[in-house]
Amino acid sequence: MQNREDPPRSGLTRKIQSPNGAGVSFPADEVEGSIVQRFEKIVLTGPGRIAVKFESQVLTYDAVNDWANRIARAVIERRGTGSEPIALLFGPGAHAIAALLGVQKAGKFFFAIDPQFPAERARFLSVDTQAPLIVTGSCHLELARSIKLENQTVLNIDAIAGTRSDGNLNLPIAPIDRAALMYTSGSTGEPKGIIETHFHCVENTRLNTLAMGIVPEDRIALIHSISFSASKIGLHTALLNGAALLPFDIKSEGIDRFAAWLAQERITVVHCPPPVFRQLADVLAGSESFPDLRLIRLTGALIAPADFELFKKKFSTHTLLEVGMGTSETGMICSALFDHGSRFPEEGSPAGYPYEGRRVLLLDENGREVGAGAAGEIVIKGHSFCQGYWRNPALTATKFIADPTSPGEQLFHTGDVGMMLSDGFLVHLGRNDSLVRIRGYRVSLREVEAALLQHPGVKEAAVIAWNDRGEAALAAYVVAAARAMPVYTELLAFVRSKLPDYMVPSSVTFLDALPDVNGKIDRRALPPPRRARPAMEQPFTAPANEIEADLVGIWEEVLGVHPIGVHDAFPDLGGHSLAAMQVLSRSIQKFAVDIPFKALLESPTVAVLAQRVSALRAANTKMQRYNDALANIEALSEEDALAVLAGRSPGKGDGSDS
């Protein structure tokens, strides 16, 4: 990146050159169709191409289309035709993709419930949408039955009879019809639903396709849950362009396996939030080869110069880094390309050049446009925004304003602050309201405060975002409703029962009163978040052996908490999924054992995890002795050779284990 007066990029065009010199054909007039029409057109052009590959399951485009058609008919049998919200309950994989398309083929629109959501949040979404049907698979059937409302029914797509026709339904679906309902954190204390039309989704896919240079030969990673808006970038740029979509369950598999998977599956495009990118770079030695990886796209949080240095250090010169800015309401707004010869901006975080059909305005507090080099609120002008907020016309009218100077276009106030360089390159400077980005997710501080205030022992609560060693984190401040403070661990468990893991504060500080100015909380006067061990029900217990001591050291380094007792639970120390990936990565390197990611979920204390590590090391030692014996089996007597093959040490005839 150059200085303010020079071109921000070193020789790069505003669009990525496609690998074969010609990108996917995606003419502007195709946005006048639906997601279903575009997908079915792609199926005709390459029915035998790989559409989805998840673990050992590989589905071609015609197989996904046939499956989605059967699901669509099953949905219509239950609900008839006509637009209405349908709940999807799936983890990563082909089931979720087929169900999503099936619901849309039935002329309806989906909202997704992540199986890891707290039950209370899942029920809130069902109540708010009044969805009559939950579509799921056998894996989550019992969960669906446990969270369904009295008037809801459940459809198990694994039980759909094969006798249903798998031909296209050809229902009329207009561009303005609803395609999806994506929930995001709301400033009122409750999630808000964003209504996406087929036009909105297809137009944004077209813009992303052109910006990323997508080709049918691409193999695109999907690490986001379909319950989050960011998932559609990978989902649609793959399936509406004939490329292969490869979901990866990063929360279950961990960051080490993700790094190996990228090379093994010959991934060409990765889209992830900056915190995941940092975790990935952290586990790479720098000598790894990703010969097929041509593009890493980072969105969802600000990036820093250190991120750019990681990119240059850990990835080869044939890989490009794209950073961008977007909102759930507008889709992507702008992006910036970097190669190894680029320079980072001197201040702020690069957002890039505006997309086609997007105009970025920077307004001061009086609504006047500011010039280059001055800071102002980022306001987007365009015509392909979402339809508004679900069942909230007042908020829709406030946020989406008709542009009096351009009929058919709207103005959307993002709440972000930016600065425009002289050549039209946007630099992002942060937020100016209560919305923050935590691990790539948009979080309303008010919603987290509302969850805390529901606890009977909490009288007042304030939540802030703070910089926890380079990453944004949430810190909560609580005033008790009575003389006795709420128990720390019980309070966190209460919040976890209501909010997703990325919205749970990593620090809770109890105060006698919140600082205020003129009756309002003075957030700047709140004390720094504490990094010491919080007050817990169980007493502190020091490590009893070398493995426990080593694990405590790893936990303290990753979590920034000291001291940590061997019976302290990982989530109660501020641990979350990304921190868990770091802990396991370092533990694997330290102990030279393959610790599965779920081990930390099942064994959330040092003491129990140490037992797991000890058992794995013992198994490795036993296997090594066995392999050493096999390597020398030709030199053994027949009796000893048979003993080795039976799992006994040579020279033992009593059946004792080696």
Is there a domain that residue 109 lies in? yes
Between these two residues, 24 and 90, which has the higher pLDDT value? Answer: 90
pLDDT for 126: 94
Between these two residues, 410 and 648, which has the higher pLDDT value? Answer: 410
Is there a domain that residue 573 lies in? yes
pLDDT for 10: 35
Same domain, 502 and 639: no
pLDDT for 187: 63
Domains in the chain, number: 3
Is there a domain that residue 289 lies in? no
- Look up residue 512 and give its DSSP letter: S
Is there a domain that residue 621 lies in? yes
Same domain, 147 and 234: yes
Q: Which of 492, 525, 558 is the last residue of a domain?
A: 525
Q: Give the confidence band of 2 by pLDDT, cuts at 50, 70, 90.
A: very low
pLDDT for 83: 97
Neighbours of 60 (CB within 10 A): 17
Same domain, 161 and 217: yes
pTM for this structure?
0.80
Cβ partners under 8 Å of residue 264, min gap 6: none
pLDDT for 445: 85
Give the mean pLDDT of 207-227: 93
Is there a domain that residue 520 lies in? yes
* Three-state secondary structure call for residue 575: coil
Same domain, 499 and 557: no
Ordered DSSP codes for 27-91: -GGGGGS-HHHHHHHHHHH-TTSEEEEETTEEEEHHHHHHHHHHHHHHHHHHH-SS--EEEEE--
pLDDT for 657: 42
Average pLDDT, the chain: 87
pLDDT at 645 over 90: no
Ordered DSSP codes for 516-537: EETTEE-GGGSPPPP-BPPP-S
Same domain, 202 and 99: yes
Same domain, 511 and 569: no
pLDDT at 530 over 80: no
pLDDT tens per residue, range 596-640: 877 777 778 999 999 989 988 888 766 666 566 556 655 666 666
pLDDT at 545 over 60: yes
- The residues pairing with 347 across neighbouring beta strands, listed in sequence order, are none
Cβ partners under 8 Å of residue 191, min gap 6: 121, 124, 125, 128, 183, 184, 185, 447
Residue 441 belongs to domain with CATH number: 3.30.300.30
pLDDT tens per residue, range 410-420: 999 998 888 99
Task: Report in angstroms the alpha-carbon separations of 139 from 91, 92, 115, 135, 143.
Answer: 9, 11, 10, 12, 9
Residue 105 belongs to domain with CATH number: 3.40.50.12780
pLDDT for 326: 92
Is there a domain that residue 373 lies in? no
Give the mean pLDDT of 288-316: 91
Same domain, 483 and 544: no
Is there a domain that residue 180 lies in? yes
Instruction: Tell me which residue of 238, 230, 257 sits closest to 59, measured CA to CA.
Output: 238
Same domain, 506 and 603: no
Give the Cα-Cα-Cα angle 230, 36, 94 (nearest 5 degrees): 55
Q: Which of 525, 551, 578 is the last residue of a domain?
A: 525
Same domain, 559 and 587: yes
Is there a domain that residue 551 lies in? yes
pLDDT for 192: 92
pLDDT for 386: 95
pLDDT for 470: 79
Percent of the chain with pLDDT over 90: 56
- The residues pairing with 509 across neighbouring beta strands, listed in sequence order, are 477
Same domain, 620 and 543: yes
Q: Which of 525, 559, 583 is the last residue of a domain?
A: 525
Give the mean pLDDT of 325-336: 92
Give the mean pLDDT of 352-357: 89
Same domain, 220 and 176: yes
Length of the chain equals: 658
pLDDT tens per residue, range 130-140: 999 999 999 99
pLDDT for 522: 81
Residue 641 belongs to domain with CATH number: 1.10.1200.10
pLDDT at 551 over 90: yes
Please check whether residue 246 is in contact with residue 293, taking contact to mean a CB–CB distance below 8 angstroms: no
Distance CA 586, CA 382 (A): 46
- Residue 581 sits in which domain range? 537-658
Same domain, 43 and 119: yes
pLDDT at 477 over 90: yes
Neighbours of 651 (CB within 10 A): 10
